[in-house]
Structure 1
Amino acid sequence: MLIHSDQGSQFTGYEWPEFLKEHNLIPSMSRKENCHDNPVAESFFQLLKREQIKKKIYQTREKARSDIF
């Protein structure tokens, strides 16, 4: 299975390649600062932020989760 990620620090450290290897996953990574590499996800999160969570402050993760899902 292919796992696509951006170049965030959680995906560029030592632990991430080990995790992928242990679970037989194939890494794929976006180019630096290029939202066009994954337009479906970028579009979804832009819409989510604009329509659902803009300017909201959630007191707990559970409240955020119930509002989003």
Structure 2
Amino acid sequence: MAKNIDDKFMDLMKETNEKFDALKNKINNIPKMSKAGTRLITKEEKELIENSKKEENNSIEEKNTEE
């Protein structure tokens, strides 16, 4: 009888931990907001934006030198 109760308790704990982990992952995936209410960007997003701006500026400079 005690073993059966222990098994049920362990199953319940595993299920609770899985639900908690899933909820924690959902919360972690929510975009972070600044005090001004705008979404904060990650370092990776910032680097992508900076790289795309550099590429855009380079292509504009190339067009200007061709003309």
Asked if Structure 1 and Structure 2 have the same fold, meaning a TM-score greater than 0.5 normalized by the shorter chain, the answer is: no
Q: Which has the higher helix share?
A: 2
TM value normalised by structure 1? 0.29
TM value normalised by structure 2? 0.30
Q: Identify which of structures 1 and 2 has the higher relative contact order when contacts are C-alpha pairs closer than 8 Å and 6+ apart.
A: 1
Q: Which has the higher strand share?
A: 1
